[in-house]
Every structure is written in C-alpha cells, then in structure tokens.
Amino acid sequence: MNNLMIFVLVIAMFFGLSQSRDPQLCNLRKLEIQNKLGDHGQILIVACNDKFESGNRPQNVTLKFNEKRVLTKDAIWGKESFKRMFRIYDQRFGRLEHEKTCQKFCILIPKFYWNQNSADNIERNSVQTCSGAAKNQLQREREREREREREMRKISSLCGRITRLPPEKPTKQSHSFFLASHSFGFLSDGGYGGGAEPQQNSSRVKIFDRDLKRIHRDRAAWLSRHRNDTFVDAVAENLLDRLEDCKKRFPTALCLGGSLGAVQRLLRGRGGIEKLIMMDTSYDMIQSCRDAQQDSLLESIETSYLVGDEEFLPIKESSADLIISSLGLHWTNDLPGSMIQCKLALKPDGLFLAAILGGETLKELRIACTLAHMEREGGISPRLSPLAQVRDAGNLLTRAGFSLPGVDVDEYVVKYKCALDLIEHLRAMGETNALLQRNKILNRETALATAAIYDSMFATEDGTVPATFQVIYMTGWREHSSHPQAKRRGSATVSFTDIQKQFGGDNLES
C-alpha cells in the first residue's frame, strides 16, 4: 500500500515539474502552476514572477497551497526557510546550465515541513476565511497530513535509494529526484530550528546573554539617574570599608561594572586612590557616571572612563593596584576566567575586591515564579539565574590564584510595598533575567499570578513584602614576597613530640 502511494507521489511530482517546463508556460510572465497533489496539501509549488538568471534572487515569490494563494511577500517566510530554498535553487541551477534564463522556479516542499515552520499564522488566516464546515475539513486534513508525514519519512529513505540510480535516465527525472531528495532532506535537519544551531557552536559554555545584559544596563542607567539606591549603596559601602583596614595605599584603581555610581560616590578618598578607571559594558552607564561626577565637582581623583567587557579585560598586565567590582561579576559566563584576568591586571601585592550575589538571593521570587509557572503554564522555565554558593567563592579565589583569600557573606532583606516594586527595583539595578535559554515570552497572567503568590506567601504583618539578597564579598591579593607563606614541608627543626614534652605533654597524651 505504501509503495503504491510512493509511486503515485513520484509520478505526480514528475507531472508537476514537466508541466512547469512547458514552453507555453515559460513564456508567461506570471506563472500559474497547478498543484496536482493540492487536495491534501502535501506539496507546495512556488511560482515566481521575476525573471531568473544565475545569481538573481527571486523578489516576489508566490506560494500556492490548496489552490489558494497563501502568501506573496517573503516577509512571512522565516529567513532560514528562504536560505534553504535558495540553497536548493543554487544547486539546481548550478547543475542545469541551459536553464539559466528560465523564467520560473519550481520547488517542491512537503506540506509537513511547511507546517513545522512559522507558518502557523498563515494557516490560521486561511481558517478565518473558511466557514465552519471547512474548519472541520481542515482539521481532518491536518490529521491526514500527520499520517502523510509518517509516510513521507519512509519515502525519504526510498528517494535516497532512487537518487543513487545510474544517470542515463532523462534529465527531467533526475531533476525531480534531485529536488525531491533535497526537500526530504529537510527532515534530517530537524525542522526549523536546525539553522540556528551553528551559531552556538562555540567552544565555551554560554549561560548568560551578555548583549542583552548590556541593553539591561543601558536601561538601568536611565532608571537609576538622580536616585540613590539604598541596597546598592549598602553593598558598596561595605565593600569600600575594607579599604580602611589596609595600611597600603592604592594609587591606581580599576572599578568594574555593577554599581559603578555608588562606588564612585562613596569612595570619599578611601584607600588613597589617585587614578580611578571606571569600566562597564554599557556606554550609557559610563556616560551617566561621567555626568554625575561632573555635576558633583569632586575632581580630587583623576577619573578615566572606558567601555569594556569583564570577560575580555582590556587592561595591561600588572598595571592596577586595586580592582573593585561591586555586583557585576555574577553575570559573567566564565567567572574563573575573568577573575584570572583581573589577577593578571593587578600589580604584585595588588588587591581584588568583589561583591557578587549569592545563591540565596531572591529565594522568595524563585519559589513564587516556580509555583505560578506550574499553575498557569504547567511547566517551569528558568527565570532566575544560577548564582554562586558561598563555598564556591573561596574555591574561585584560590583557583584564580589569589593569595590570602577571604570570603564573607551578608544577607540583606529589602522590603517592598508589593512584588511589582521588586521587579522595578531589579530593572533599575539592571539585574533582570538575561539567561541565554530563557523563555522570551512572559504571560501577563503568569506575571500577575507570580506577584499574587509572592504577596500571599511572604507578606509580613505590616503589609510589606521582603526580598532576600545574599551578597558574597571576596577579597584576594596578587601574590607578593611580603605575604606570609607556609614553610616548605620537612623544614621543621623541632619535633612535635619535643614540644609536647616541653609543655607538659602528660595531659595531651590522654
């Protein structure tokens, strides 16, 4: 039965193609190609108004489906589908020299492939024009399509065998086989998503969308203008307070992304900084910092501005005495890598100070998001980024090669009027979701449900909703001869047993 179907299909393909190569049709400016298998819509025929020459791309393509014109503009087609179509077109015309001036271009695409693509809206449009009875028919058709899809898969394997036949057959046939095998070749590509994959074939793991984060920070620059954020200020103050504990002075300091403005404002001559370099990925953020500094007329520190990426630090080796990063490094894809770059940029005995958000951050929001998603959408998608744990922070510092590493944790609970205020605050800080695999659509329903769950689960007696921010402070120094170091193993001159004897070892032995 299946074999019969296959033969019918193949013959019909020949028929469609041979008809399109009819000399009479060739002369027509506008082609009207009948779809011989149009009843079930498994094959689409593309006709083109433009004259085809080699290297000339069709401008105005008409697609026919069930004898109705479904689209005329290429805009509805996804770019990938067009690329694929043109690839086939190029291959075809590469093979057929004599057809170069042919006015038409015929391509056979199985309907199921078409369905897998972004053509859902087109189908919906066609449904709108149909009556209720036609709708039922369309549903039945869809079911039949699915069946046919399965058949087509079997056909594709057969077609593969046919194309390997010796080439003494008439050219017409080999063309259609060629086309058919290619149109079935889409299957192996796994549908529409196939084209986007090579872009992510990078050797490094990417978790965050750095470009999106840049845009977020641009927005944050506008949202946080002329407004001092108490939470960010508290973190910056806590971080800069560590400078007072050091006797050393730091003439050249580099301030990396995150809460730049707060660090700049709260520095107040601490650490003996003479030259300050401000770096961020967002140009707008840097500019707003520069404007803020010019307004305040505080010119005691020579400040330079720079747009750069923490993942690709553009700083010469051993040139900075101090690197401060306040709430910025948790957005880097390669945290150890950027910390190693920081270490290299530091002078010997230089200090690295960083504050990043820890894993306990926004745990309430995490719970509320998960619940709301389960309730409204029946599944969850990542809304909050994975964050470093406290125990990781120490390992990170050691791995990056910092000596005298120090890690401490602080938890801040910020109270908001409602959950939506929290989101506004996150936006103003530029801390909104930038995961690469995020769900790009957030339903209004789900968002409001999240807010409602948040309010009902975590609201306190006074009507405010708390949000926890866990901040991990990391301190590390670039190694220097002046740092205390453990002695070499086996270099001891006194044995422990001797010490025990000396200091009344009797009680220790028990």
Partner 1 sequence: MVRISRVLLKDAGIAIDKTLSEILVCPLSKQPLRVCEKTKSLVSDTIGVSFPVKDGIPCLVPKDGKILEEASKA
Q: Which residues bind partner 1 (CB under 8 A)?
A: 211, 214, 252, 275, 277, 281, 283, 286-287, 290, 294, 299, 302, 304-309, 312-317, 319-320
Q: How far is the CB of 285 from partner 1 (least distance, A)?
A: 11
- Nearest CB to partner 1, comparing residues 350 and 358: 350
Q: How far is the CB of 215 from partner 1 (least distance, A)?
A: 12
Q: Yes or no: say if 429 and 232 are a contact pair by the CB < 8 Å rule.
A: yes
Rounded distance, CA 106 to CA 47, Å?
A: 6
Q: How far is the CB of 160 from partner 1 (least distance, A)?
A: 41
Q: Single out the residue of 54, 61, 49, 55 nearest to residue 101, CA to CA.
A: 54
Q: Yes or no: say if 355 and 231 are a contact pair by the CB < 8 Å rule.
A: no
Q: Yes or no: say if 205 and 122 are a contact pair by the CB < 8 Å rule.
A: no
- Nearest CB to partner 1, comparing residues 114 and 250: 250
- Nearest CB to partner 1, comparing residues 191 and 308: 308
Question: Would you call 296 helix, strand, or coil by DSSP?
Answer: helix
- Nearest CB to partner 1, comparing residues 313 and 357: 313
Q: Which uninterrupted H or E stretch holds 86?
A: helix 79-95
**What is 375-442 written as a DSSP string?**
HHHSS----S---B-HHHHHHHHHHHT-EEEEEEEEEEEEEESSHHHHHHHHHHHT-S--BTT--S--
- Eight-class DSSP state of 199: G
Q: Single out the residue of 92, 102, 108, 107 nearest to residue 28, CA to CA.
A: 102
- Nearest CB to partner 1, comparing residues 41 and 261: 261
- Nearest CB to partner 1, comparing residues 248 and 275: 275
- Nearest CB to partner 1, comparing residues 120 and 211: 211
Q: How far is the CB of 289 from partner 1 (least distance, A)?
A: 10
Rounded distance, CA 162 to CA 160, Å?
A: 6
